[in-house]
């Protein structure tokens, strides 16, 4: 069966450290993968998109890697801040580029 797995346990880190979140998938062949941020009571907000032919993508303090052999994406936040505390969701296109499937998300807590 198809699965998108993110660590269901919250990730607790100290301010200033690098947070690394993992997204693993099974039985998908995505053309691209996305990461979203979701705050409590709000809709998800798009952060980054990485295509299957890209190994790495950066945006300010954010970095995403995409390994189609391992079927895994890593999402890094460097110099983390308490304001980065939120749930982070990965999503990928399924049958076609119009259909997006999400993981269950990982909650990040950045402590001052």
Residues of this chain that bind other proteins (CB under 8 A): 4, 6, 8, 31-32, 34, 36, 41-46, 49, 89, 91, 93, 97-105
| Shortest reach from residue 112's CB to other proteins, in Å | 27
Please identify, using beta-carbon distances, which residue of 45 and 79 lies nearer to other proteins. 45
Least distance in Å: CB of 105 to other proteins? Answer: 6
DSSP notation for 25-87: EES---SEEEEEEE-TTS--EEEEEEETT-SEEEETTEEEEEETTTTEEEEEESS--GGG-EE
Closer CB to other proteins, 30 or 84, in the complex:
30
Report the C-alpha gap between 4 and 25 in whole angstroms: 4
């Amino acid at each position: 069966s198809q699965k998108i797995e993110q660590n269901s346990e919250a990730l607790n880190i100290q301010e200033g450290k690098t947070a690394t979140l993992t997204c693993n998938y099974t039985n998908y062949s995505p053309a691209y993968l996305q990461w979203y941020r979701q705050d409590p009571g709000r809709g998800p907000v798009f952060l980054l998109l990485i295509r299957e032919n890209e190994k790495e993508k950066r945006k300010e303090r954010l970095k995403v890697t995409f390994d189609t052999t391992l079927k895994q994406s890593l999402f890094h936040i460097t110099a983390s801040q308490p304001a980065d505390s939120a749930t982070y969701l990965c999503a990928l296109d399924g049958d076609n580029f119009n259909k997006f499937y999400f993981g269950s998300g990982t909650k990040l807590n950045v402590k001052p």
